[in-house]
Amino acid sequence: MSHRTNLAAAFLAAALSLSTVAAAADPKLEIAKQGYVFAGGHYDSAHPGNHLIGQLYAEYQIPARQTHKFPIVMIHGGSQSGTNFTGTPDGREGWAQYFLRQGYAVYVVDQPGRGRAAYHADAYGPAAALSIDFVLQRFAAPERFNLWPQAHLHGQWPGKPEQGDPVFDQFYASQLPSIADFAEQQELNRDAGAALLDKIGPAVLLTHSQSGAFGWPIAQARPNLVKAIVAVEPSGPPVHDIAFSGTPNYFADVPKTKISGLGDIPLAYAPPVSDQSPLEFVQQDKPAAPDLVKCWLQKEPARKLVALDRIPLLIIQSEASYHASYDHCTVAYLAQAGVRSTYVRLADRGIHGNGHMMMLEKNNAAIAKVMADWLGKTLQPVDGVKTAAH
């Protein structure tokens, strides 16, 4: 066995030992039932093989003492899989285990065409993968590149953010190609997400990054089954994505316009949107602060987003992520469209140094507690909850 292999093995053994010690201080984790379910999809008779496409995969665990009526459905972001929530690259417990310990049933999703939900190129079209440079810039080491004003504040990555470090290598090994067409991803996940709720019943949606664009249409498709949305740095900002270029200007709008303001597929508004009556957008004259982007909003009078105003919504933003420059725009866009949210900047809660992949970082449990506290106030726990049927 090589010296490097010995070091990696020793590192992971130490991490697992620390994880065991930390878990011992938490509520005991006892699982009453676990398994998996595929939801959505159809047979593709248009291509050879008649493959089943469009389905998502969800792995579920139900704690022995389930104290919360509604399970949490965790949907990962771009180029990721459900492993974002089932552990960390340095061997600690993830958000799935945290919420199980709090008495929630948990469903961890692999999106259609990702992970254990098979990718079929003939049906889904080309796939795109993240380069190691992009992963370092956006996720593991933004402080090294300073492409946005808040990047230098990052300091919670659990290891050395570089090729060859065992923690970084574990994370980079988890990256997966994604369907290149983002609008197609939104359609697939809307339909599969709705089908999952049809199977399991009412639930909380926990979205992250790219999957933030899926939460809104899923909720509109099944408004009575989405009991709350926890949107962790949801896909944004509205109307135009941002290209980051570093100092001195930092931000530039990507020319492509999001047809529904929040995404690339239609959302239901009142009054309705049509080809003859499309959404119209205007940009702020100046940003709210020098380190923030100029937000895009609807041209007044603004239309209201259908059904979303009835669903409790929490938006979480970290201190050092590229989202720190624009998540306030998502909050403002939703508010203008009649959707109130609880907007938590983690730095305001004394939680500092996090980047976009906060569920994997050193203080991931502190962030989970913020979400759990909000859910506890929003959705009251109950005793004697029956486990979901499949």
pLDDT in tens, 218-240: 999 999 999 999 999 999 999 99
Q: What is the dihedral of CA 350, 356, 362, 367, to 10 degrees?
A: 50
Taken in order 153, 354, 56, 135, the sign of the CA dihedral is positive
Q: Are the CB atoms for 345 and 317 separated by under 8 Å?
A: yes
User: How far is 136 from 133, CA to CA, in rounded Å?
Assistant: 5
Mean pLDDT of the region 355-367: 98
pLDDT in tens, 314-342: 999 999 999 999 999 999 999 999 999 99
Direct distance between the N- and C-terminal alpha carbons of the chain, in angstroms, rounded to an integer: 46
Instruction: Please give the pLDDT value at position 295.
Output: 98
Listed by start position, the domains of the chain span: 3-378
> Which residues form the catalytic set?
209
Instruction: Please give the pLDDT value at position 22.
Output: 47
Task: Return the CATH number of the domain spanning residue range 3-378.
Answer: 3.40.50.1820
User: How far is 112 from 109, CA to CA, in rounded Å?
Assistant: 9
pTM over 0.85: yes
pLDDT in tens, 3-29: 455 544 544 554 555 454 444 456 689
Number of residues assigned to the chain: 390
